[in-house]
Structure 1
Amino acid sequence: MADDAQTPETVTQPNGMDNGPAIGLISQYVKDLSFENPNSPACYQWQSQPQIDVQFNIGSNPVGDGVYESAIKVDISATHPEGQSFVVDLTYAGLFGVRNVPEDQIQAFMLAEAPRILFPFARRVIADAVRDGGFMPLLLEPIDFHGLYVSQQEQALAASAEPAGNA
């Protein structure tokens, strides 16, 4: 009689249950969008090149059992020597379903990988808003969200390792 012991390769989950880790995009959306053109129509006559300032902020929070929101906040200001031509504020977010993922890995995904998935769509919204405001579309360069996340983690670790001061 053959041995009835099952090897890991032959173990099946009842009813097709899947116990493996999984994260999936449920939905993505513009959470907040503002376009301001404070010096129109004069700004359309300015001949100088604008100085473009782009600031990013990434956030994440749980919104339900196994559901997290990751959001990219982008603040852009275009300034000429004559004045400000436009300001764009965008918060673009996505809902992600999470199953069987260790807690210590969820934050890394939500602050590094989720923004990488959402960024091309946020980039398009910004380009369209700037174009619709009467300017050439602003095409943001790709961003290494994983590299930024790792850098921030290293900075936080270094800051926590510094002595608090002398007593």
Structure 2
Amino acid sequence: MAEDTPNPETPAIDSGAVDPAQAPSFGIIGQYIRDLSFESPNAPASLLPGAQQPTSNVNINVQVKKQADDTYAVELGLNVKTERQGSVIYALELVYGGLFRVKNIPENQLSALLMVEGPRLIFPFARQVLASTIQQGGFPPLMLEPVDFLALFRRNLAAAAEKQKQAAQDGAPTTVN
């Protein structure tokens, strides 16, 4: 039978050190589709096999909108255009969002949390809506690879810094969003 004596090599944990009301938290309140559009302008001819494989162009963007003091909407914009020999087979636009509650997160970490972790959490659901819609349109589902939202965030920060640097060199007033 094990004894309940403290191990001198294990640091003691002060259970009163962190006030639960002050602990950082980040959680999803709900998810939604704000906009969904699917077009197959050349159907039913676009369903016939062609000499060439179709090519898809996928664009992803992330937007964050403050809803209340501790509530933010994180929206993924997914645009897919699939063509074969210059003819559009289908085009899909989806704006899929998540409503997040954020408490006790330092201001300097809030942007990265919302622009990286928020999209990472809702992306699998948006990907499923996209694949299902394309399949219901009569085409094989497009299964998107996971997206590295941290790399996307860093790339956008670098682009904004470069734009600000260029504006400063041109003598134009600079603004930070």
Q: Identify the TM-score tier after normalising by the shorter chain.
A: 0.7 to 0.9
Q: Is 2:38 the counterpart of 1:35?
A: yes
Amino acid at match of 1:77: K
Q: Write the distance in 2 (CA, Å) between the matches of 1:158 and 1:35.
A: 36
Q: In structure 1, which of residues 88, 96, 102 is the aligned counterpart of residue 106 of structure 2?
A: 102
| Offset at residue 82 of structure 1 (A) | 5.7
Amino acid at match of 1:53: N
Note the alpha carbon deviations across 1:84-139, whole angstroms, 9 max, x for none: 11000000000000111122221111111111111100000010000000000110
Q: Write the distance in 2 (CA, Å) between the matches of 1:136 and 1:165.
A: 49
C-alpha change, 1:158 and 1:90, in structure 2 (3 Å) is: same
- 1:23 maps to 26
- 2:151 maps to 147
- 1:88 maps to 92
Aligned length: 159
- 1:121 maps to 125
| Offset at residue 12 of structure 1 (A) | 5.8
Q: Write the distance in 2 (CA, Å) between the matches of 1:26 and 1:52.
A: 33
| Offset at residue 23 of structure 1 (A) | 0.7
Q: Write the distance in 1 (CA, Å) between the matches of 2:102 and 2:119.
A: 15
Please give the TM-score of this superposition, normalised by the length of structure 2: 0.82
CA RMSD of aligned residues (A): 2.2
Please give the TM-score of this superposition, normalised by the length of structure 1: 0.86
Name the % identity: 34
Instruction: Say which SS state the counterpart of residue 18 (structure 1) adopts.
Output: helix
Q: Write the distance in 2 (CA, Å) between the matches of 1:151 and 1:10.
A: 41
Q: Write the distance in 2 (CA, Å) between the matches of 1:132 and 1:33.
A: 13
Q: Is 2:55 the counterpart of 1:64?
A: no
Matched ranges for 1:41-56 at <5 A: 41-47=44-50, 48-56=52-60
| Offset at residue 24 of structure 1 (A) | 0.4
C-alpha change, 1:133 and 1:9, in structure 2 (3 Å) is: same
Do the aligned residues in 2 keep the contact of 1:46 with 1:82 (CA within 8 Å)?
no
C-alpha change, 1:90 and 1:12, in structure 2 (3 Å) is: same
Decide which moves more: 30-39 or 102-111.
102-111
Which of structure 1's runs of 4+ aligned residues deviate more than 3 A?
10-13
Give unmatched runs, 5+ long, in structure 2.
Answer: 1-12, 172-177
